[in-house]
Structure formats: C-alpha cells, structure tokens
Amino acid sequence: MKLPLGYQYGSTYARIRKVKKDDLALIVSDTPAAAAAVFTSNRVKAAPVVLAQKNLKASKGKVKAILINAGNANCATRTGDEVARITCEAAAQALSVDPNLILPTSTGVIGVELDPSKITRSLPGLVKKLSPGKFQQVAEAIMTTDLVPKTATAEVSLSQGSIHIAGMTKGSGMIQPLMATTLGFLMTDAAIAPARLRPLLKQAADASFNRMSVDGDTSTNDTLALLANGASGLKLSAKDEPVFLDALTYVAQELAAQIARDGEGAQKLITIQVLGARTDDDATRIARTIANSPLVKTAIAGSDPNWGRILSAAGNSGVAFDPRQVDIALQGMLVCEGGLAANFSEKELKKRLDAKDCAIEFHIRGKGKGHARFWTCDFTEGYIRINASYRT
C-alpha cells in the first residue's frame, strides 16, 4: 500500500483514557491542504465539531493538521468550548501555524470534563515524533471499543500520472452516521480545487458512511474530513473527476464496511441491497429500516432464515410498496417470492448463514430504478455486554 505524499502522522499516550494505549494523534500535511468535512446531524454537537466548522470557515477550507483524541468526546461538558480552543492553539503553536488551520476531533464518553493540560503538555513531544510512516499507528490510537484498526487506500491513474488516497476511521457503537461517520479521515496528494472538494466528499460519504449503521444511534461527534495537499504535483482536472470519485468512494465504502464488520459484539457483516424501489431515497429508507431492526439482526446472529422479519421491517419504513411484489434472497438463495415463502432448503441456508458475510437482497418487482447498498452487522449478546458497562 502506497500512502499519499506530503503527510506525516504521530500518536502518543496522553492519559486521557485509563488503559495505557495511545489516545492523542496528529495527521499533518506538509503544506496546508485544501480541506472539506461533513459533520453529525445530531442536534447535540460536541465542542470540537462546532470549532472545526468555525475553523474551516475562517481558514477558507485550509487544514494544516487534524488533532484527534480518543477516550473523551468533549461533549456536554462545562469547559468543552474552551478545551477545544486551548488544545487547537497548542497544536497550532507546536506546528507554528495559525490556530484556524487545526481541525479538532474527539471521540469517547459524553459528559465528562476533559483536562486540556493532558493534551497541551503532550503536543510538543508528539510533533517531534511525526513521521510519514506512522499512518497505521494513528489508526490504532483513535480506536475506542474497536477491535481492529480500519484503513483503506487507493491509487488513481490520472492523465499525467498517479495520485494516492488513504483513509482511516474508527467506531464500533453509537453508529448510524447521517452526515458523516464517527471519525473518518481521507487524505490525498492530488491538488483539488477547494470548490470541488466538498461535493466530491459529499457524494462519497452518501454512498458509504451515510449508508451504514451499527445500532441506529447517531453520535454527537461524527466528522469525516478530506484533505488534498497537492504533494503529488498533479492537479485534478474536470475530466479526471469521475475516476477520482470512484476511488474516493471505494476507500470510503471499504472504511464504512470495516466499521460495520467491527460493530460492537458483531460476528457478521451484513450487506443489504434494495432494488426496484421508486427512488434511491426510498431504497435507502427500506435498507436502513431493515438494517436497524433488532429482530432482523438477532435472526442473522442465530443463522435463522426468518425472512418474515425482513418483510415486516421493510413494511415499517414508511415507503409504499406492494408486499406481493417482493422477492427476498439470503446468501443468494430465494427465501421469499412475491411476498410468500419460497421453496428453499432450510438446512443448506442455515449453513450458508454461518459465514462471516451475510447478504440480504430485497427486490421489488416492476419498473422502479431506485436502489441502495447498505452495511450493518448482526446483533449479539456481546453488544449488550459491552454497552451495559461502557462508562463505569
């Protein structure tokens, strides 16, 4: 895997979380990068989300560094705004740039005061240790209840040569990104006009992070950022945009699927495909309702081909459709044909459902062209165990 040129990474243990595991990280562009970001749609927004939006505006879409801490969301706290400001200023000072070039992000528990000195005193040492090779180390430092780090890369051949995209993300619970994800960072060494960056990110996010759910809870801290520093020396032309968007979407979808696969307590990645709806929006609503149904998710956990729950969940999506026109396939086997039980081998299907990847296809017969792909995971006792005592 070849990383984009012109970025350095670093992480350290700042004692924000109790367990000794890096919890503070920086992603730094050698020169300020053109940047775009999408944020949570939750009405309750964490302090770093509010400041990140302000900084992006003040810097006219430029970012020198992304400052990340895990272990504390810096949300719903007395000192949140001040902590976000102080830590951005400290990062800016350590990097000798303007504070509005810092994009602050936090993830972890909500409602617990975050001591800014833990971060400010760690920053000078962290900046000294920055290096282009510590990409993976940062992907590990931003994990909370994640079991594995989540990264993806792509190389894009443009007319004049190759540029690179790399992304990392984290998250395992409180996952139903509606504007972006819990935390996701996409870096490229292409030079991209700032005005084009946001629409490209928005399109990639809508086809990836915004079509994924672990538990239907949208976090207060969701941030997905895209940096383009131009270090490859190649500028993205209008002609190159589609191939770049494809690669960006691929990286974003890889990351989104990795989050679902690593959902809290999850044993299986579930990919839901809805076809034949009136519009893509209708298809997404049906897919999201199936993905968030605890009954569907527990059935998959138990390798139980209980397609009635899938049909019932779809019926609750608010989308109008005729149940008699619905075919449902599980692991490629038709289980429901025209709204009724199909003739399938339950024994064979149960065996197929024991796989780590589960495919649900929901097809409405007729002329509808609306479709959606959506990622989620099964719902196991592990989710309960993790979440009955996450905080205390």
Residue 36 CB, nearest distance to its own copies (Å)? 24
In Å, how far are 5, 132, 148 from 213, measured between CA atoms?
Answer: 32, 32, 17
- To which residue do tokens 């839901």 refer? 272
Pairing relation of β-strands 183-188 and 223-228?
parallel
Residue 62 CB, nearest distance to its own copies (Å)? 30
In Å, how far are 39, 56, 99, 158, 328 from 102, measured between CA atoms?
Answer: 16, 9, 6, 30, 48
Terminal CA-CA length for the chain:
39
Q: Using CA atoms, how far apart are residues 308 and 314, in angstroms rounded to an integer? A: 10
Q: Is 325 helix (H, G, I), strand (E, B) or coil?
A: helix
Residue 103 CB, nearest distance to its own copies (Å)? 22
Contacting residues for 219 by C-beta, under 8 A, at least 6 apart: 40, 42, 73, 107, 171, 174, 175, 177, 182
Q: Is 65 helix (H, G, I), strand (E, B) or coil?
A: strand
Sequence-distant contacts of 354-357: CB under 8 A, at least 24 apart = 354/303, 355/268, 355/331, 356/267, 356/268, 356/269, 357/268, 357/269, 357/271
Q: Which is nearer to its own copies, 45 or 64 (CB)?
A: 45
Q: Which is nearer to its own copies, 48 or 305 (CB)?
A: 305
Q: Which is nearer to its own copies, 96 or 389 (CB)?
A: 389
| 339: number of Cβ within 10 Å | 14
- C-beta separation of 12 from 240 below 8 A: no
Q: Which is nearer to its own copies, 244 or 379 (CB)?
A: 379
Contacting residues for 16 by C-beta, under 8 A, at least 6 apart: 23, 24, 69, 70, 71, 72, 108, 114, 118, 119
| 366: number of Cβ within 10 Å | 12
Q: Which is nearer to its own copies, 131 or 316 (CB)?
A: 316
Q: Which is nearer to its own copies, 70 or 156 (CB)?
A: 70
Six token digits for residue 190: 């292409």
Residues with active-site annotation: 181
Q: Which is nearer to its own copies, 46 or 227 (CB)?
A: 46
> Which residue from 67, 78, 75, 76 is spatially nearest to 119, judged by alpha carbons?
67
Residue 386 CB, nearest distance to its own copies (Å)? 8
- φ and ψ at residue 316, rounded to 5 degrees: -95, 0
Q: Which is nearer to its own copies, 313 or 372 (CB)?
A: 313
Residue 271 CB, nearest distance to its own copies (Å)? 20
**Angle between helices 307-315 and 294-301 in degrees, nearest 10:** 160
In the complex, the residues that contact its own copies under the rule CB under 8 A are 41-44, 73, 75-78, 109-113, 173-174, 215-220, 292-295, 298-299, 301-302, 304-309, 311-317, 319-321, 323, 336, 339-341, 346, 350, 379-381, 383-385, 387-392
Residue 197 CB, nearest distance to its own copies (Å)? 28
Residue 377 CB, nearest distance to its own copies (Å)? 12
Residue 304 CB, nearest distance to its own copies (Å)? 5
